[in-house]
Amino acid sequence: MLSYFDAIVLGIVEGLTEFLPVSSTGHLTIAEKVLGLSVDDKAVTAYTVIIQFGAIVATFLYFAKKIARLFMAWVRGLTNTEARGHDYNLAWAVIVGSLPVGIVGFLARNVIEGPLRSLWVVAIALVLWSGVMFVAERRHDVLEKQGAQRGEGQVGVKDGLLIGLMQCFSLIPGVSRSGATISAGLLRGIDRVTATELSFFMAIPALTAAGAFQAVEQRHDLAGLGMGQMVVGIVVAFVVAYASIAWLLKFVANNSLMAFINYRILAGLGLALALGMGWIAAT
């Protein structure tokens, strides 16, 4: 059974890192090791997915008006071709972009919850994916100078599909779901704020499906962790995630992702050093 202290720590880590491009799974895995938890225990793995519901609710509440607008535009567009505007296309982009990670995540769930649950994987992924983010940032800068970036009204289904395919890499601990989707958006020529918002929207179906699946599949194991602890973790994750969303949107409006890239590289190298020196076990 998790202690309430464990639940609070994991909730804070989840809320802070779910939407920042630094890998929530990677940081949760590190936090679990520091807390003395078994990172390859299925119940612990399921718990870290369950508390993502807090982040999902935070996203719903923060973007409630916009989500409602996109949903209504999508519903109207299904029966009225003349009503198919930018919001209709954006809604389809989110829907289509959410499918690949669900399919791949389900088919590869045994690998994701098994061999990939290693801190060596996290360390390597933190460093290597930083290179992808760096290239995406450089492309963003070039397009910004040329005035060739695309905004929310120019996002289509093809963008959603390609961003969704890139999101599949986030199933590797250390890559980061937001890091993958934001990078994909920047590589597609989408401005940074729009790419970040798309990342938030695509998180909703991905995290909801993953959480629901884990809740059903691991319901017996989760019962042993403590219902109160799960509630505390979800609530803490919600509060911290809501604040993280607000902060990140303001940050990317005027800043590049280089601060996160530098952090990822340092964190990855630091983790590799700790593993190599035997200060911490990989699993």
Q: pLDDT at position 221, please?
A: 66
Q: pLDDT at position 224, please?
A: 67
Supply the Cα-derived Rg of the chain in whole angstroms. 19
CB within 8 Å of 101: residues ≥ 6 apart: 164, 167, 168, 170, 171, 177, 206
SS3 45: helix
Judge whether 102 and 206 are in contact, CB under 8 Å.
yes
Q: Among positive and negative, which fits the CA dihedral 196, 201, 205, 208? A: positive
Judge whether 196 and 182 are in contact, CB under 8 Å.
yes
pLDDT tens per residue across span 110-125: 887 777 878 899 999 9
Looking at the predicted structure, is the pLDDT value of residue 215 above 90? no
Q: pLDDT at position 260, please?
A: 95
Looking at the predicted structure, is the pLDDT value of residue 73 above 80? yes
- 196 vs 248: CA distance, rounded Å: 8
Identify which of 224, 209, 283, 181 has the alpha carbon closest to the alpha carbon of residue 50: 209
Q: Which pTM does this prediction carry?
A: 0.88
* Higher pLDDT, residue 128 or 48: 128
Residue 206's identity, in one-letter code, is A
CB within 8 Å of 64: residues ≥ 6 apart: none
- Among 32-41, 188-197, 258-267, the minimum mean pLDDT is found in 32-41
Q: How sure is the predictor about 43, in pLDDT bands with cuts at 50, 70 and 90?
A: confident
